[in-house]
Amino acid sequence: MTEQKSSKHLISVIIPVFNGERTVERVVRSVLANRTDEIGIETIVVDDGSTDATPEILDRLARETDIRLIRTENRGAAAARNAGLRTAKGAFIGFVDSDDRIQPDMYRKLLLALSEHDADLAGCGVIHETEYGAIPEKGDGGTAVFEGETIYREILGSQGMRGYLWNKLFKRERIRVPLDESLLQCEDLLFCAQNLEGVRRAAYLSEPLYRYTRKTDGEELSIKRGLSLADAQEKLLAVYREKAPGSAYIPERNLLKTFLYLRAKAKQEHERDEAVLSRIRSGIKAHFCRVMREKDVSVKTKGNIVLTYLFPCISLRIKQRVLKKRHQNGIWES
């Protein structure tokens, strides 16, 4: 068993896993392959109450390697990541999902980006592994540097830094707020936004170094998960109104689009729960006029909002077809 290095370059990598018997060993090995003479990797695997062969696989890996294994009741990925955060010893924090993998030099390059640009946060490009094949994001391998409110804007984008947890390397000292365990959707973006307050500078390396298993089937949100997404977006909007008011129109626009989607979904599924319907109506009422008056929201987006409101079911069917075509071409919304 290899003894962990104690140095300023110790990276704690947190891997939450639930029923990951087919992929968990692959991801653990890919993280361990990032170790170098200068970089120690503390690999923390949090078994979130798995009921398949995952526990036995992790027991074997714990005997063969020096991974740290934590077992919890099944409470979701956010709670599992928080459990890992509470025990992490590294000066830097990374997150990797159990069905993904990373390139063997990902953390070395992210650490170098932090150092070269005196940054507090670094991110990298992504290879999307889909049923259509592996689709790397386009990029020249260069590094972009962001400061101030621009960082808040960047994590909202559909390209570049974005609000993912797993394509980033965080300085541990900058993480002040844990993941919100009440959310089913968008808790990663909220976590990033809530922990930007102490981030002076962020570096984005466009080289695709994270291999993300993109599930293109069954991605459509249920009403339950859509309402959780709206919860997250409301909390996100509150952060932006306080910390980055010049960009607050973006999460508000996205929140309105979520409520309009839920309205269409409710009509499509003949939803009868009056509490759900009332929540959707009040959400649209609260944000519609302000978004439509916002000068930074494009005329095209405003037109789509109006059409979605007037023709919800038709708009939903069109969106489903458009998204499928985009996915085939390697284009995803954040």
The per-residue pLDDT for range 227-270, each reduced to its tens digit, is: 999 999 999 999 999 999 999 999 999 999 999 999 999 999 99
What is the rounded average pLDDT of the residues 220-227?
A: 91
Where would I find the H helices in the chain? 24-32, 54-64, 77-87, 106-116, 149-154, 187-194, 223-243, 249-268, 274-293, 299-310, 312-328
What is the rounded average pLDDT of the residues 72-90?
A: 98
Q: For residues 50 and 71, give the distance between their C-alpha atoms in angstroms, rounded to a whole number.
A: 9
- Percent of the chain at pLDDT > 70 equals 94
Confidence of residue 220 (pLDDT cuts 50, 70, 90): confident
Q: For residues 173 and 169, give the distance between their C-alpha atoms in angstroms, rounded to a whole number.
A: 12
Buried b (16+ CB within 10 A) or exposed e, 222-252: ebeebbbbbbbbbbbbebbeeebeebbbbbb
**DSSP character at residue 295:** T
Determine the 3-state secondary structure of 54 from DSSP: helix
Is the confidence at residue 331, as pLDDT, over 70? no
pLDDT tens, 125-156? 999 998 878 989 988 889 999 999 999 999 99
* Contacts of residue 104, Cβ cutoff 8 Å, sequence gap at least 6: 30, 33, 34
0.85 cut: is pTM over it?
yes
Among residues 33, 55, 37, which one has the least CA distance to residue 46?
55
**DSSP character at residue 138:** P
* Contacts of residue 326, Cβ cutoff 8 Å, sequence gap at least 6: 332
Q: For residues 261 and 317, give the distance between their C-alpha atoms in angstroms, rounded to a whole number.
A: 11
What is the rounded average pLDDT of the residues 173-191?
A: 97
| pLDDT score of 329 | 65
Is the confidence at residue 56, as pLDDT, over 50? yes
Domain at 10-213, CATH class? alpha beta
Mean pLDDT of the chain: 93
| pLDDT score of 5 | 42
Is the confidence at residue 43, as pLDDT, over 60? yes
**DSSP character at residue 229:** H
Determine the 3-state secondary structure of 168 from DSSP: strand
* Tokens encoding 226: 């859509």
Domain extent listing, the chain: 10-213, 223-328
